[in-house]
Chains A and B, each alone.
Chain A
Amino acid sequence: MNVTIQEHTQSDSATTLVVSGEVDAYTAPQLREKLMPLTKQKQEIFLDLTAVEYMDSTGLGVLIGAYKSLRAQGGRLVLVGMSARLSRLLKITGLTEIIDIEDGA
């Protein structure tokens, strides 16, 4: 019931965060602390969610916060490696209409 987050810097303006484990009310603050400062530094953030086993609305709240922060500066948040479960969650909450999603392949 933990989350790990690894950053792979691509360039000055782009970075990838690889998230694994469970993102819930307990672990979402860790993701927020890692992600939010980057939204001020980077233009493009790729969030690799391939190894995320569980995410609930608190995790989605972090994604929305990052999306808003990036967009406010003309930046872009891209979700990569969405499982069927996660895709469904984003569809139900209307986020597929808003946040960019790329295939994990």
Chain B
Amino acid sequence: MVEPCKDLIELAIPAKAQYVGVVRLTVSGIANRMGFHYDDIEDMKLALAEACTNAVDHAYAGQEGQIAISFFIYDDRLSIRVSDEGNSFDISSVKQRSGPIDKDLPLTSMRERGLGLHLMETLMDRVEIDGERGVIVTLTKFIHRDEVEQDVDSPEKTKSHG
């Protein structure tokens, strides 16, 4: 059974680099309202920008196109789906190349691009990619509520100290 999301916010931008900043501001506003911590919000801004930048760079090969961003708001998490209707790509080959920079590689083979997927996978709790028709990237982050604070307020805890 698929749990229905509580609220859905949708946004569509032209596949142009200057609008990726608008998506960052949007996720920041939504995540802030949901109660995410500052660092988690910054992580999501970055991961989402990477997904959008990939779509801008690869989807339409210089042609005009749209990127659709859907924010699925759940009680315990935010799932963001980024989809374009442009060129698909071979996911397995991209995943093989994903990872941090290897300092032992010679200077000339050091990559200047391709860190985006690695960042998404590191910064989000879950990353799903579907590349059959266009590309759909779904990024999920769970809300980590402050457990220390909950412990302090918990009546059980107070009793055990008494």
A interface, CB within 8 angstroms of B: 1, 22, 24-26, 54, 56-58, 60-62, 64-65, 68, 71-72, 85, 89, 92-95, 97-98
Contacts and interface: CB of A to CB of B under 8 A. Distances in A.
Main secondary structure of the interface of B (DSSP, over half): helix
B116 A98 contact: no
Contacts of B21: 1, 22, 24, 26
Contacts of A95: 101
A71 B46 contact: no
B45 A93 contact: no
Interface in B76-128: 100-103, 107-108, 110-113, 115-116, 118-119, 122-123
A90 to B, nearest CB: 10
Contacts of B107: 68, 71-72
With a 10 A CB-CB cut-off, give which of B57, B110, B115, B118 has the most chain A CB atoms.
B115
- By size class, the interface of chain B is 20 to 34
Given A24-B20, A25-B20, A56-B49, A64 B100 contact: no
A54 B45 contact: yes
Nearest to B119: A57
Contacts of A57: 50, 53, 113, 115-116, 119
A85 to B, nearest CB: 6
Contacts of B53: 24-25, 56-58
